[in-house]
Amino acid sequence: MIDLVVIVYKAELEFLKIQAKSLHLYFSTHLINNIYIIVNDENCLIEDIKLNWWRDLASKVKILHYSYLSDQPTSMHGWDSQQLLKILTASISNCEYSLVLDAKTWFVKSVQFTDFFDNNGRFNCTLMPLFTEFQSSKNFLSDFFQIEFNSFIGPGGVPFAFHSDTVRKMIEFIEGKTNLKFDKFFSQNVIFPNCVTEFTLYSAFVLSNKLFTTLYSGYAKFQVTNIADFEYKEINQLLQTMKSSLNLTSSIHKNTYKLMNNDQFESWCNFLTEKKLFVSPKIAQMQLNTFKLGVDNGTRIRF
């Protein structure tokens, strides 16, 4: 079994509802222990999240406000605090692995146990070369952990699998080394000039302790497709990539919608309908058109 971790704020509630349907469609109940939904917004938003969105998985859903984990997010930029909350949620998991998702991460094919785990119980993923954008993080973490930090754990985004006990050990190590509470350490180093991310920090800890081959198989049994706004020139190619039989999840950043032309938007809605996330392309277009028009359908807390 595995725990799922999702950090959400008001503007992504519609995404979360679609994700819940994708979990119902493509996940067997016996594969999931808990689904942690962490609200990174006003506490009252919890009332807007309905357990029936998850249908047969509803009993596994635990909705928590960020203050349950830390008071640090109140002093952090929203995206930075989301990274912190992913780590802290994994640290309270009683499952061996915690799979981190964004609300916009939607499953588009059936999940098998063997997709995630090899015969030795290791999670299936590879190491990837660090992107050039992570140079500052690379320099800081190489020095902090006294390693040559050149690669990090795939797939380069979400879904990302934390080994829960290793997260707890990382937090303990960092607090002992710095004499700072972990959330304080992270809030100081996620920003410029060190620009640490949740996944580079964890990857550097795993590699510094030579744990990668113990915890991870070194190969991937599935692929994921995440389209960010800076990838708008590659949208046509990425929309085709999503159709691969190996593609497990698909996501499009909400800011990317307004960069899509009508044909691209229609193709995306057709794809989601084929994957049974909507009953028709017309309904998909109506529901997602708010993002296409660039209208914010919710107000996120601004720290």
Task: Please give the share of the chain, as a percent, with pLDDT higher than 90.
Answer: 92
Average pLDDT over residues 154-167: 96
Alpha helix segments (H runs only) across the chain: 13-26, 78-91, 113-116, 135-145, 164-178, 182-189, 198-208, 212-215, 235-241, 262-274, 281-292
pLDDT at 37 over 90: yes
Average pLDDT over residues 69-74: 94
Question: Does residue 235 contact residue 264 with C-beta atoms inside 8 Å?
Answer: yes
Question: Does residue 109 contact residue 248 with C-beta atoms inside 8 Å?
Answer: yes
Distance CA 97, CA 284 (A): 33
pLDDT at 80 over 70: yes
Question: pLDDT grade, residue 13 (50/70/90)?
Answer: very high
Tokens describing residue 197: 């991310």
Phi, psi angles (nearest 5°) of residue 5: -125, 125
Say what the pLDDT of residue 292 is: 84
The residue whose two tokens read 């044909």 is: 263
Say what the pLDDT of residue 196 is: 98
Say what the pLDDT of residue 300 is: 33
Amino acid at 101: L
Question: pLDDT grade, residue 156 (50/70/90)?
Answer: confident
Average pLDDT over residues 183-202: 97
Q: CA 74, 11, 58, 50: dihedral to nearest 10 degrees?
A: 100
Say what the pLDDT of residue 180 is: 98
Cα 170 to chain centroid distance, Å, stands at 19
Say what the pLDDT of residue 298 is: 41
Question: pLDDT grade, residue 297 (50/70/90)?
Answer: very low
Closest of 103, 39, 92 to residue 65, by C-alpha: 39
Say what the pLDDT of residue 210 is: 98
Amino acid at 71: D
Question: Does residue 40 contact residue 78 with C-beta atoms inside 8 Å?
Answer: yes
Start-end of CATH 3.90.550 domains in the chain: 2-215
Q: Are strands 127-129 and 151-153 parallel, antiparallel or unpaired?
A: antiparallel
pLDDT at 276 over 50: yes
Q: CA 87, 56, 155, 182: dihedral to nearest 10 degrees?
A: 0
Tokens describing residue 134: 């992570």
Closest of 191, 203, 77, 76 to residue 131, by C-alpha: 203
pLDDT digits (tens, 9 = 90+) for 110-146: 999 999 999 999 999 999 999 898 999 999 999 999 9
Query: Please, what is the average pLDDT of the chain?
Result: 95
Q: What is the CATH T-level fold of the domain 2-215, as seen in this structure?
A: Spore Coat Polysaccharide Biosynthesis Protein SpsA; Chain A (3.90.550)
pLDDT at 296 over 50: no
Tokens describing residue 130: 């660090």
pLDDT digits (tens, 9 = 90+) for 88-112: 999 999 999 999 999 999 999 999 9
**Higher-scoring residue by pLDDT: 5, 302:** 5
Say what the pLDDT of residue 290 is: 85
Average pLDDT over residues 272-279: 98
**Higher-scoring residue by pLDDT: 143, 300:** 143
pLDDT at 59 over 70: yes
Distance CA 109, CA 90 (A): 25
Question: pLDDT grade, residue 250 (50/70/90)?
Answer: very high
Determine if residue 210 is left, alpha or beta; phi over 0 gives left, psi from -120 to 50 gives alpha, anything else beta.
Answer: left
